[in-house]
Amino acid sequence: MKSVEIFVLFLLLPIVETGVFDFFSGLFDNDKLLPFDSEEFKKDLRKSLYGQHIASKKILKAVSGFMKDPNPPKPLVLSLHGPSGVGKTYVTKIIARNIYQMGQESKHVHTFSATYHFPHKKQMESAMYESQLKQWIHGNVSSFPHSMFIFDETEKMNPQLIESIKPFLDYMPHIDGVSFRKAIFIFLSNAGQNGIINFALDFWKKGKVREEIQINTEEMEMLVYEHILIEKSSGDSQSCLLYQHLVDHIIPFLPLELRHVQACVLAEMSSLNVIDLDVAHTVAKEMSYYPPEEKIFSVRGCKSIRQKLMLHIDERDII
């Protein structure tokens, strides 16, 4: 054989071995896992997520530990709690961009919103949601073990639906031949927000530094349970109770203060290439704060900052 032929054969060998399709899709697939770098992840959290020292620390530890474990015993299950607009959904994007090449756009990231995906509470629809959701999770994990599932508005989900996915979250070696140990499940909810807010408020009233707030797991569980006991509204409470003992980490998100809102405005400004500290301060000041007298925490967190900001900047300034 001429050396050219050997060379061609050498080139073709992997194609023959892995199958033409797999070979080419492997070559061009840019929707894979990133090599996980916990230092990068730490930097990203520090740079992007404001005022959430407890959540940052817990998420960094939980996700890094899980991603570095070549053989995790069970899927990672996180439950994020706190008021609106404080970074719960946002942090799922940060997690995704540190795990997948395509970040939150990755086809391995699946987001389900209770009111959008499972709007009906009737028996028949619920049964349909259950079987469909189970199929999706099973199907996606079997083709990509490191799939991520995000459930938004968990408190509005039918408790039965949570019940039906319980086996996936547990220490189960296999379900119909598929292992779920590398999957990530993240539940987002406002459940327990009043407990968290009061906790932060008490801290503030005692004149203590916010960054010193520590909420341990038991306290956090108490805060969430407290909410369940106070608001005994049907599904809400039960769903919380149900996934309580399936989650690995309950993660509190604190209400945001003026300085954090200001940081959000600045981040938004820098993405538009217009930085102006005075404007940032003005925009942050325009948000509403509670409680009525003290006005410490932003009612909407950092939500709708961009819209507020647009009223203050001249479009000609945007490069």
Ligand X SMILES: Nc1ncnc2c1ncn2[C@@H]1O[C@H](COP(=O)(O)OP(=O)(O)OP(=O)(O)O)[C@@H](O)[C@H]1O
Q: Which of 38, 89, 113, 160 binds Mg ion (CB under 5 A)?
A: 89
| Identity at 162, one-letter amino acid code | I
Q: Which CA distances in Å does 257 have to 39, 126, 298?
A: 27, 40, 6
**What whole-number distance in Å separates Cα of residue 127 and Cα of residue 146?**
27
Q: Which CA distances in Å does 262 have to 50, 134, 144, 210, 231?
A: 10, 42, 40, 17, 33
- Nearest approach in angstroms of CB 152 to Mg ion is 6
* Residues facing residue 111 across a β-bridge: 150
Q: Interface residues for ligand X in 41-60 (CB under 6 A)?
A: 49-52
Binding mask 143-162 for ligand NAG (x = CB under 6 A): x-------------------
Q: Which of 110, 134, 210, 300 binds ligand NAG (CB under 6 A)?
A: 110
Q: Interface residues for ligand X in 86-105 (CB under 6 A)?
A: 86-90
Q: Which of 79, 140, 189, 190 binds ligand NAG (CB under 6 A)?
A: 140
Torsion on CA atoms 295, 299, 304, 306, rounded to nearest 10: 20
**What whole-number distance in Å separates Cα of residue 67 and Cα of residue 79?**
17
Comparing CA positions, the residue from 227, 151, 160, 133 lying closest to residue 187 is: 151
- Nearest approach in angstroms of CB 185 to ligand NAG is 13
Q: Which of 36, 136, 225, 290 binds ligand NAG (CB under 6 A)?
A: 136
- Nearest approach in angstroms of CB 254 to ligand X is 9
User: Which of Mg ion, ligand NAG, ligand X, none does 136 bind, CB closer than 5 to 8 A by kind?
Assistant: ligand NAG
Burial string for 122-133 (b: 16+ CB within 10 Å, else e) reads eeeebeebbeeb
* Residues making contact with Mg ion (CB under 5 A): 88-89
* Residues making contact with ligand X (CB under 6 A): 49-52, 84-90, 190, 264, 301-303
* Residues making contact with ligand NAG (CB under 6 A): 110, 135-136, 139-140, 143
